[in-house]
Structure 1
Amino acid sequence: MTTDTRNRAVFIGVALTFALNMMGTTLPTPLYPIYQQQMGFSELIVTVIFAAYAVGVIGALIVTGSWSDQLGRRPMLLAGLAFSAASAAVFLVADGLGMLLLGRVLSGISAGIFTGTATVAVVELAPAAWAGVATLVATAANMGGLGMGPLVAGVLSQYLPAPLTVCYALDLVLVALVAVVVWRAPETAELPSRARLGLQPLSVPPDVRAAFIPAAIAGFAGFAVLGLFTAVAPAVMGKILHLSNHALTGLVVFLLFLASTLGQLGQARLAERFRLPIGCVVLILGILCVALAIAQISLALLVIGALISGVGQGVAFRAGLGAIAAASPPTRRAEVASTFFVVAYVAISIPVVGIGLVAGWAGLAAAGIGFSLAVAVLAAIALVSLVVLRRRRR
């Protein structure tokens, strides 16, 4: 095997590792109705189980955010895979709420480690001929993996026996295989003579806040939509649309992440000053379509809403992150980006728990419609803040 061929194989292997690891984090999505039926959970408990994932992600981002620069990419990727395997093992034997919460926290830690480390590793391992698309490959691996989780788990749980076992067993096998890929990959980080491990600081310099605030609001709204679909879509499909096919549920969530990936990849075709506003507008249209789908009990509208919302989320997220990076001093970019991701993962967790609370006394349909309208308002606030910011600049 030539050096060039080996470099391409390693690059593809690590990108695939990124995707498979993120796939493991969303495997439980179409399985929540089964857990509810077997363990007697309320909708609120389901959202709390889901939110435990965000706790793990945020903790990993803060604690290990800069560790790959000190310890190396390979050790941190292997650590992320270890947490992923531990999560799958816990879900395999889970028999109650405590085990499910533990499994989700472990999964979140794995995702938090991979979110930064794997993105950097994929970019650094890209062959010279592929350097221009390395960031896009990392983005596609991240979001594509998140989307594949519900689809794979939905199909396996619908058409194979042992619905709460087979997908996690498969995940363990895949994690073991890609761990070999990471073990054989070269180290790309230039390591210091002495590792200095510390927490990743979270702050936004005053001169960056004008760009950060609208991007963070739009990011919050977009990630709240991801939380809605990955935590509550199974209940919406089953209790409102009266569709109990787990594979169909997984497909709807997969389409959302696929659309988000396409939105992130396609936003570069837009003029830079229009990217975030267009993302906000598309996100508003998509989430209003989701609200209408719930009100009209329409699967077609829900799918359309997922596709439009996904594109809007992808455009707004990538544009917002780009605007923040451009406005941040080079020495503070990692710090500001970590702050942005913490805001995003708070958006995935806390609003979704709010849906569970409201659903307990107002019903799932009212909670879903109210949540959708709130997300639309947030995106509209981000859009207005962008207009005000540009007028001030002029």
Structure 2
Amino acid sequence: MSATLTTGAPVAGREAPRRWIWAAAWPVTAVFVLSNAATPLYVLWQRSIGFSKGTLTLVFACYIAGLLASLLVSGTLSDRLGRKVVLLPAIGLALAACAVFATAASVPALIAARLLTGIAVGAVVSAGMAAVTDVAGSRRRPLAALIASCAMVFGAGLGPLLAGLLAQTAPGPTVTVFLVEAVLLALAVLTVLRMPLPPRQRGNSAGGRRLRVPGVPAGGRLPLLLGIAVFAPGITATSFVLSLGPSLLASLLHSSSRVLAGAMAFVMFAAATGAQFAVRRIRRRTVLLAGAAATAASMAALALAVRGGSIPLLVLAAALAGTGQGLGQLAGLSLLNTAVRPDRLAEANAALNVGGYLPAGILPVAAGYLSDAIGLTTGATLFAAVLAGLAVAGGLLVLANRRRLAE
């Protein structure tokens, strides 16, 4: 393994113009806008439909359930059949999710919309991010990892900010938000259709099974483990902020501003984007350790925020959570880009995200129902303590393998 984030292995295929590396990332951004666009709207749905904080986190977790199910097949199918074959149906499901969200009048409808969104995101995480690497070519593979990772977090942050602004200012916010998103997704379809991908390689050695847990070859197992060790706590922290952040603002911190809820999520993912650009030439070991430290610090700030009713501390916790996710995600993708050959790359991306999203689905739901039982302050504090411990454990695992990271 190389010592910095700027080393990559060659990938087959001629190089496309540089502008296409950025354009190839647009479908990732557009689908991730949808992934969190509902965040500022949950308070509206809670009032009109009526459901608890536990149910809110369960609705949020259904997205992760759909995403994990999608990851089981999308990575392998993308490596075998091609990126466009997976991306176009995924964007179609995202458009269907927009229609369900726009007309949702019950919890089952919200669950269905979140499941469709999760399936679309899972396909884009594996096939879309691999497509960016394919378009980039061998010399620009490190740049592709950076652009693909930033496209994900930028879209994830833009969604709630856009939704918050429209929800505060536009009529029929739960309809308007998803009409705008449908336009973004339509542009993504056009981008995929024109994407200059290299010829698909045949003879993928991943085997004939299409339904299986995504994995990596033997040489990629340690990079995968280290990436998950830091990425998983980071994305679990951001999932908590996305699912319960608006409730914290509304009930604990006495603020019902949907713009503020969306802006807090945007700050979180803007921090993730900025952090990735800031560390692109730094050693992977340092990036992983910084990611683990940021997540642990985020949980400390979260505990202080809910104890003291401080909005600035809550925003700081969100920014640190985004930083932790962004650094863990970038380092994990970069490690896999180096260690895994092109015909297994989408599957490897899927494996990284399965490892990250499993705790991101389970722990916030547990925190939501715990908060219903013992109060939001105590529930959030316990969640913060558990996740801080996982982040520290991830950092210690990186330190234990620091020599391997320097090879």
TM-score (norm 1): 0.89
Amino acid at match of 1:115: V
- In the alignment, the residues of structure 1 paired with residue 373 and residue 251 of structure 2 have an alpha-carbon distance, to the nearest angstrom, of 15
* Structure 1 position 272, deviation (Å): 3.2
CA contact (8 A) 1:54 1:349 kept: yes
- In the alignment, the residues of structure 2 paired with residue 345 and residue 267 of structure 1 have an alpha-carbon distance, to the nearest angstrom, of 23
Match of 1:165, SS? helix
CA contact (8 A) 1:81 1:175 kept: yes
Q: Which residue of 1 aligns with 2:274?
A: 262
Is 1:14 the counterpart of 2:53? The answer is: no
Q: Which residue of 2 aligns with 1:101?
A: 111
- In the alignment, the residues of structure 2 paired with residue 211 and residue 196 of structure 1 have an alpha-carbon distance, to the nearest angstrom, of 25
Per-residue CA shift, 1:161-208, capped at 9, x if unaligned?
112110011112222233123223334341649996713543577776
Q: Which residue of 2 aligns with 1:58?
A: 68
**Runs (5+) with no aligned partner, structure 1:** 1-5
- In the alignment, the residues of structure 2 paired with residue 309 and residue 237 of structure 1 have an alpha-carbon distance, to the nearest angstrom, of 17
Q: Which residue of 2 aligns with 1:152?
A: 162
Match of 2:369, SS? helix
Query: Which range moves more in the overlay, 93-102 or 211-220?
Result: 211-220
Per-residue CA shift, 1:352-375, capped at 9, x if unaligned?
110111011111121112111111
Amino acid at match of 1:15: A
Per-residue CA shift, 1:89-141, capped at 9, x if unaligned?
11112111111111001001110111121112222224899665232222221
Q: Which residue of 1 aligns with 2:242?
A: 230
Q: Which residue of 2 aligns with 1:3?
A: none
1:279-358 equivalences under 5 Å are 279-323=291-335, 335=347, 337-358=349-370
Structure number with the bigger relative contact order (C-alpha 8 A, sep ≥ 6) is: 2
Per-residue CA shift, 1:254-274, capped at 9, x if unaligned?
111111122233333333332
* Structure 1 position 9, deviation (Å): 5.4
Amino acid at match of 2:61: A
* Structure 1 position 60, deviation (Å): 0.8
The change in CA–CA distance for 1:392 and 1:183 in structure 2 (over 3 A counts) is closer
**Runs (5+) with no aligned partner, structure 2:** 1-15
Q: Which residue of 2 aligns with 1:239?
A: 251
The change in CA–CA distance for 1:119 and 1:325 in structure 2 (over 3 A counts) is closer
CA contact (8 A) 2:238 2:321 kept: no
Is 1:202 the counterpart of 2:214? The answer is: yes
- In the alignment, the residues of structure 2 paired with residue 392 and residue 127 of structure 1 have an alpha-carbon distance, to the nearest angstrom, of 27
Is 1:367 the counterpart of 2:373? The answer is: no
* Structure 1 position 68, deviation (Å): 2.0
Query: Which range moves more in the overlay, 294-303 or 307-316?
Result: 307-316
Task: Give 2:153's match in structure 1, choosing from 124, 143, 146.
Answer: 143
Per-residue CA shift, 1:271-327, capped at 9, x if unaligned?
333222222122211221121111111111111222223223322332244446656
CA contact (8 A) 1:73 1:188 kept: no
The change in CA–CA distance for 1:393 and 1:58 in structure 2 (over 3 A counts) is closer
Is 1:23 the counterpart of 2:33? The answer is: yes
Query: Which range moves more in the overlay, 239-248 or 277-286?
Result: 277-286
Identical counterparts, % of pairs:
30
Q: Which residue of 1 aligns with 2:192?
A: 182
- In the alignment, the residues of structure 2 paired with residue 209 and residue 67 of structure 1 have an alpha-carbon distance, to the nearest angstrom, of 21
Q: Which residue of 1 aligns with 2:12?
A: none
* Structure 1 position 346, deviation (Å): 0.9
Is 1:169 the counterpart of 2:179? The answer is: yes
- In the alignment, the residues of structure 1 paired with residue 146 and residue 136 of structure 2 have an alpha-carbon distance, to the nearest angstrom, of 11
CA contact (8 A) 1:227 1:347 kept: no
* Structure 1 position 75, deviation (Å): 2.6
Is 1:249 the counterpart of 2:261? The answer is: yes
Query: Which range moves more in the overlay, 133-142 or 102-111?
Result: 133-142
Per-residue CA shift, 1:315-360, capped at 9, x if unaligned?
2332244446656688876655433311211122111110111011
* Structure 1 position 148, deviation (Å): 0.5
Q: How many residues align?
A: 389
- In the alignment, the residues of structure 1 paired with residue 393 and residue 140 of structure 2 have an alpha-carbon distance, to the nearest angstrom, of 38
Match of 1:164, SS? helix
Q: Which residue of 1 aligns with 2:394?
A: 382
Query: Which range moves more in the overlay, 35-44 or 337-346?
Result: 337-346
- In the alignment, the residues of structure 2 paired with residue 131 and residue 391 of structure 1 have an alpha-carbon distance, to the nearest angstrom, of 24
Amino acid at match of 1:308: L
- In the alignment, the residues of structure 1 paired with residue 142 and residue 345 of structure 2 have an alpha-carbon distance, to the nearest angstrom, of 21
Query: Which range moves more in the overlay, 99-108 or 207-216?
Result: 207-216
TM-score (norm 2): 0.86
* Structure 1 position 147, deviation (Å): 0.7
CA contact (8 A) 2:231 2:327 kept: no
